[in-house]
C-alpha cells in the first residue's frame, strides 16, 4: 500500500497501460497461436474426411469385387459341372455303335448334370420327321408343340442346317424370338446335330428364370456336346450300313455256295456217268480189238497161207493202229478208274532217284535218237517217298516222253527234285517249242492237243497229261506247267513226303 503512495498516478496509469498492453499482446499472441492450431486441426480433419471417403470407396470396391468374385466362382463351378457332364456323356456315347443305346446312355440324370432346367434332343427319323429322343423339363404338350412348330419352320431348319447356333446369350434377333416362342424358354441354346452328310437333329437346352441366364460358355459347351452326339450317331449309322451290307453279302455268299454245291453235285453225277460210259465202251472195244490184232498177227505169220507184200504192209498198219487204239483204250480206262476211285493205288516207299534213273534207261533210245542232253538234280535229303511206283513211273514216262517229242535235237531235258515243306517238288524242264499262255490252262483236259508243227506229224491221243494229273491227284499232289514259247516248258508236280491217304482197293472184276 505504501508503494502506491509513492507512485504517482501518471506512472501508475503508465504501468497499468503497459500491463494491459502486455496482456493484450500476450492475448493476441495466444489467439494467433490458437488460430494456427485450429487451422492445422481443420486441415487434419479434412485429411481425415478424405481418407475416410477413400476407405469407404475402397470398402465399396472390395464388396463389389467380392460379389463379382462370387459370381465368377459360381459361373466357374457351373462350367466345371457342365464340362464334367460333357466328358461323361462323350465317354459313354463314343463307346457304342447302336443308335438306341446312344440315347439310352444320354439319360435324364446326365442331362441334369449339364445344369439346365430344360433339355431336348430331336432327331430326324427315316421319313425326315423330327422325333424326340431325350427330354427333360418339357411337358408332353410342349414337346408336341415344339415338334410341329419346328417341323413347319423351314426357315429356322435351313438356318440350323447351315450350322448356325442360336443362343439367348447373343444379341436378340427375330429368330431368337421365334425360338423363345417355340420352346417356351427365356434363356436357351439351340444347336444343330451335324454329321458329314448334313443335319441329323437338334439339341436345345434352356432355363426359364432370369436368375439362370445362359452364357457364351454354355453355348460353347452345348455345341461341343451336339458335335459329339453327331459323331456318335454318324458312327452308329456307318456301322449299321456296314453290318447290313455284310449281312446281304453273307446271304449272297450262302446262296451262291448252295448253287455251286448243287452245280458241283450235278458235275460229279455227269462225270460219274461219263466215266461209267467210257469204261463200258472201252471194255466193249478192247475185246474185238484184241481179236482184230490177233487175226492180223496170225495172217502176218503166213500160217494161213502166203500173203503178198502189199497185204503184209496193210496188215502191219492194222497191227500198229490196233496198238495205238489199245493204248488209247487203256489210258481211257485208267482215267475213268482213277476218277471213280476204283483204281488201285499201292503205296509203298520207293527211292525217287532210282525210279527216275529207270525212266531214263527206258527212254535212252529216244534221247539218243535226237541227241538230247539229260541232266538230273535231286536234293540229298530226298530218299524214299510213299508212292504207287508203277503209276509214278507212268507220270515220268509221259512227261519225259512229251519233253523228248517237243524238243528239237541237241536240246536239254532236266529233272530236278527238292523238298518244299512237307512235299517233294519235281520239275521236268525241256528246251523245246514251248506252249502258249492260252493253251496252258487247257493242257490237262482230256483229248486236248495243241495245234503246232510237231502235232501235225506226230500221233498222240491228248490223254497222257490228263492221266498224269489224275495219278498225281490220287497221290494228294498237284501238277501245273509253266512255259515260254520257243524257249521251253517245265512241268511241276508235288508229292507228299509222308503218306496221308489210305490204300484204294480195286473192286473185283473191274
Ligand atoms: P499227246 O502227247 O498224246 O498229244 P498229252 O496229253 O501228253 O497228249 O499232251 C497234250 C498236249 O500238250 C500235247 O499234244 C502237246 O501239244 C502239249 N505238250 C505236252 N507236253 C509238252 C512239252 N513238253 N512241250 C510242248 N508241248 C507239250
Predicted local distance difference test score (pLDDT) of residue 401: 95
Mean pLDDT of the region 83-107: 83
* Closest C-alpha to ligand 1, atom 16: 450
**pLDDT greater than 50 at residue 165:** yes
Among 442, 449, 470, 479, say which to mutate for ligand 1: greatest number of ligand atoms within 8 Å of CB: 449
Predicted local distance difference test score (pLDDT) of residue 153: 93
Lowest mean pLDDT among 14-18, 262-266, 276-280: 276-280
CA-CA-CA-CA torsion sign (436, 438, 440, 442): negative
**pLDDT greater than 80 at residue 108:** no
Which residue would you say has higher pLDDT here, 326 or 471? Answer: 471
DSSP 305: S
**pLDDT greater than 90 at residue 94:** no
Cell of 67: 460379389
Predicted local distance difference test score (pLDDT) of residue 502: 56
**pLDDT greater than 60 at residue 20:** yes
User: Using a 6 Å cutoff on CB, does residue 488 contact ligand 1?
Assistant: no
**pLDDT greater than 80 at residue 32:** yes
Mean pLDDT of the region 441-467: 86
Q: Nearest-5° angle of CA 28, CA 33, CA 39?
A: 125
**pLDDT greater than 90 at residue 504:** no
Predicted local distance difference test score (pLDDT) of residue 503: 52
Cα of 354 vs centre of ligand 1, distance in Å, is 25
* Count of beta carbons in the 10 Å neighbourhood of residue 367: 18
* Closest C-alpha to ligand 1, atom 18: 402
Mean pLDDT of the region 456-462: 80
Asked if residue 150 lies in contact with residue 122, where contact means CB atoms within 8 angstroms, the answer is yes
Predicted local distance difference test score (pLDDT) of residue 211: 65
Q: How far is CA 175 from the centre of its chain?
A: 45
- Helix or strand or coil: residue 448? coil
Nearest atom in ligand 1 to 433's CA: 25
Mean pLDDT of the region 167-173: 82
CATH number of 344-496: 3.30.565.10
User: Using a 6 Å cutoff on CB, does residue 179 contact ligand 1?
Assistant: no
Nearest atom in ligand 1 to 458's CA: 4
**pLDDT greater than 50 at residue 145:** yes
Cα of 450 vs centre of ligand 1, distance in Å, is 7
Among 400, 411, 465, say which to mutate for ligand 1: greatest number of ligand atoms within 8 Å of CB: 465
Residues paired with 429 in a beta bridge: 414, 490
The domain locations on the chain are: 3-90, 93-242, 344-496
Is-above-0.85 flag for pTM?
no
Asked if residue 406 lies in contact with residue 441, where contact means CB atoms within 8 angstroms, the answer is no
According to DSSP, the β-strands at 423-430 and 488-496 are antiparallel
Cα of 170 vs centre of ligand 1, distance in Å, is 88
Cell of 355: 525210279
Cα of 292 vs centre of ligand 1, distance in Å, is 29
Fold of 93-242: Beta-Lactamase (3.30.450)
Nearest to 64 by CA among 75, 74, 52, 72: 72
- Give the span between the Cα atoms of 148 and 142, in whole angstroms: 10
Band of residue 510 on the pLDDT scale cut at 50, 70, 90: very low
**pLDDT greater than 90 at residue 439:** yes
Among 399, 402, 461, say which to mutate for ligand 1: greatest number of ligand atoms within 8 Å of CB: 402
Amino acid at each position: 500500500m505504501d508503494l502506491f503512495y509513492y507512485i504517482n498516478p501518471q506512472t501508475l496509469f503508465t504501468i497499468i497501460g503497459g500491463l494491459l498492453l502486455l496482456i493484450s499482446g500476450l492475448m493476441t499472441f495466444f489467439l494467433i497461436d490458437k488460430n494456427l492450431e485450429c487451422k492445422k486441426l481443420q486441415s487434419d480433419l479434412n485429411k481425415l474426411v478424405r481418407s475416410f471417403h477413400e476407405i469407404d470407396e475402397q470398402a465399396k470396391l472390395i464388396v463389389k469385387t467380392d460379389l463379382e468374385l462370387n459370381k465368377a466362382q459360381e459361373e466357374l463351378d457351373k462350367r466345371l459341372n457342365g464340362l464334367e457332364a460333357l466328358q461323361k456323356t462323350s465317354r459313354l456315347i463314343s463307346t457304342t455303335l447302336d443308335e438306341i443305346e446312344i440315347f439310352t446312355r444320354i439319360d435324364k440324370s446326365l442331362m441334369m448334370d449339364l445344369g439346365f432346367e430344360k433339355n431336348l434332343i430331336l432327331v430326324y427319323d427315316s421319313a425326315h420327321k423330327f422325333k424326340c429322343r431325350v427330354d427333360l423339363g418339357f411337358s408332353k404338350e410342349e414337346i408336341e408343340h415344339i415338334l410341329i412348330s419346328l417341323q413347319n419352320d423351314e426357315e429356322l431348319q435351313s438356318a440350323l442346317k447351315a450350322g448356325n447356333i442360336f443362343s439367348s446369350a447373343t444379341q436378340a434377333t427375330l429368330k431368337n424370338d421365334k425360338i423363345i416362342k417355340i420352346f417356351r424358354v427365356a434363356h436357351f441354346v439351340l444347336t444343330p446335330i451335324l454329321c458329314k452328310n448334313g443335319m441329323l437333329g437338334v439339341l436345345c437346352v434352356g432355363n426359364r428364370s432370369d436368375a439362370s441366364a445362359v452364357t457364351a460358355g454354355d453355348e460353347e459347351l452345348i455345341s461341343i456336346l451336339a458335335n459329339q452326339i453327331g459323331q456318335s450317331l454318324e458312327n452308329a449309322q456307318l456301322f449299321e450300313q456296314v453290318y447290313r451290307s455284310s449281312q446281304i453279302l453273307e446271304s449272297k455268299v450262302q446262296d451262291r455256295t448252295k448253287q455251286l454245291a448243287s452245280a458241283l453235285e450235278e458235275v460229279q453225277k455227269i462225270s460219274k456217268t461219263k466215266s461209267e460210259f467210257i469204261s463200258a465202251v472201252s471194255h466193249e472195244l478192247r475185246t474185238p480189238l484184241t481179236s482184230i490184232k490177233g487175226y492180223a498177227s496170225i495172217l502176218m505169220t503166213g500160217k494161213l497161207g502166203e500173203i503178198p507184200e502189199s497185204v503184209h504192209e496193210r496188215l502191219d498198219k492194222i497191227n500198229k493202229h490196233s496198238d495205238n487204239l489199245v493204248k488209247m483204250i487203256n489210258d481211257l480206262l485208267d482215267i475213268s478208274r482213277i476218277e471213280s476211285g476204283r483204281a488201285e493205288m499201292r503205296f509203298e516207299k520207293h527211292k525217287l532217284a532210282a525210279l527216275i534213273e529207270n525212266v531214263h534207261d527206258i527212254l535212252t533210245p529216244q534221247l539218243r535218237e535226237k541227241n538230247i542232253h539229260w541232266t538230273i538234280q535231286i536234293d540229298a535229303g530226298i530218299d524214299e517217298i510213299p508212292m504207287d511206283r508203277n503209276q509214278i513211273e507212268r507220270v515220268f514216262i509221259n512227261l519225259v516222253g512229251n519233253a523228248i517229242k517237243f524238243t528239237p535235237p541237241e536240246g536239254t531235258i532236266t529233272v530236278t527234285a527238292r523238298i518244299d515243306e512237307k512235299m517233294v517238288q519235281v520239275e521236268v524242264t525241256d528246251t523245246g517249242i514251248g506252249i502258249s499262255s492260252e493253251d496252258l490252262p487247257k493242257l490237262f483236259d482230256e483229248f486236248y492237243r495243241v495245234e503246232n508243227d510237231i502235232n501235225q506229224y506226230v500221233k498222240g491221243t491228248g490223254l497222257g497229261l490228263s492221266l498224269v494229273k489224275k495219278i498225281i491227284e490220287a497221290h494228294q499232289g498237284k501238277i501245273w506247267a509253266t512255259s515260254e514259247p520257243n524257249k521251253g516248258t517245265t512241268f511241276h508236280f508235288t508229292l507228299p513226303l509222308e503218306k496221308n491217304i489210305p490204300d484204294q482197293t480195286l473192286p473185283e472184276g473191274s
